[in-house]
Amino acid sequence: MTTSPSVLTQPDATPLETNLARILRVNLAVQGQTTLRGIPGRINLQDKTTKTSIRLDISGEGISLSRTQMPSIIHVLGNFDPFEGSPPEFSIRSGWRKPFLKAKLRALLTPHLKPWPVAAAELFDRSSQTKNSDMTISILSKDTLEQHVWGQGSEKVSIIASKKTLTHLFNGLSMLIDDILKGRIQCQASMQNIALITDATIDHWLDAGV
């Protein structure tokens, strides 16, 4: 049996770091431990929007994230802040001339997005707040007209959005209340049920129980 390498954040990790850690955890689980082979031991990342710098220290055991900057031959500039609901994009800034390793690095940092019905099912299944509740959650992708329903409760929740928005939401790249406030999602429900589902998407976004 093989185990995925660990991805650790500092106790004072920012949302940027916790979210990047979640992306790395998913990708390492999907791609396997060998994906780290050949990648330098230290990579500096900088978020284009917030200018926050993140350092990745990579070893055979896994990856640790911190904000303390140290010299590195790899500098990656990109959008690592998914608050806007778009998956992080990045470009490798320095002259690193190893296309194969560059591709591995890109694969490591790019979010692995599951189809939204799969991701939504996983979220509703693991969320203690939406599980065993009185909700019936109906979700419609307005561009593909694909519709799924979860739960059999008496309280109806209707969510309508584009496939892209739903994919980002249920893969942990955005939060329900944000998408509603920004007009990307139409959601008809009680305030309580909006709050409960949003809470679950925030937990999912942070990959944490708190």
Partner 1 sequence: MSTTFKGESDLSAWLDRHHVSRIRTQATDLDGFALGKYCAREKFLKALPIGHNLADVSLGSDSKSTPHLGFWHNFRQGAIGDIALMPDLETLVPDGLESDLGHVICDFTQLDGSPISLCPRTKLKTLEQQLADQGLSVKCTFEIEFFLFNNSYADAARKRYQNLSPVGASPLETIYFLRDSFHAAPFMQKVLDRLDWYGIPWEAWNDENGLGQIELNLAPTTPTEMADRVVRAKQIIFETAVQQGLSATFMAHPKEGFSNGMHVHHSLLKEGVPQFFDPTARNRRSPLLIHWLGGLLSTMEASVSYLCPSPNSYRRLREFAAPPVTATWGEENKSTGIRLICDAPKSARIEHRVGAGDLNPYLAMAVILAGGLVGLSDKKPPPPEFTDLGWGIPDSVPRLPADIMSAAKALQAATKLRALLNPEDVDYWIKSRRHEWMLFHRAGIDPDSPIPSQWEFERYFATV
Q: Which positions lie near partner 1, rule CB under 8 A?
A: 11-16, 49-52, 67, 83, 175-177, 181, 190-192, 194-196, 198-199, 202, 206, 209-210
Cα distance between residue 195 and residue 176, in whole Å: 9
Q: Please count the other Cβ atoms lying within 10 Å of the Cβ belonging to residue 11.
A: 4
From the CB of 74, what's the least distance to partner 1, in Å? Answer: 22
Handedness of CA 56, 57, 62, 65 (dihedral sign): negative
Closer to partner 1 by CB, 31 or 52: give it: 52
* CB within 8 Å of 59: residues ≥ 6 apart: 41
Dig out the tokens for 187 from the structure: 């959601």
Cα distance between residue 142 and residue 61, in whole Å: 43
From the CB of 141, what's the least distance to partner 1, in Å? Answer: 23
From the CB of 105, what's the least distance to partner 1, in Å? Answer: 25
From the CB of 146, what's the least distance to partner 1, in Å? Answer: 26
Tell me which amino acid residue 101 is.
Answer: L
From the CB of 163, what's the least distance to partner 1, in Å? Answer: 23
Contact 138, 147 (CB under 8 A): yes
Closer to partner 1 by CB, 149 or 181: give it: 181
Cα distance between residue 41 and residue 39, in whole Å: 7
Contact 30, 112 (CB under 8 A): yes
Local structure of residue 71 (DSSP, 8 states): -
From the CB of 138, what's the least distance to partner 1, in Å? Answer: 18
Cα distance between residue 130 and residue 150, in whole Å: 10
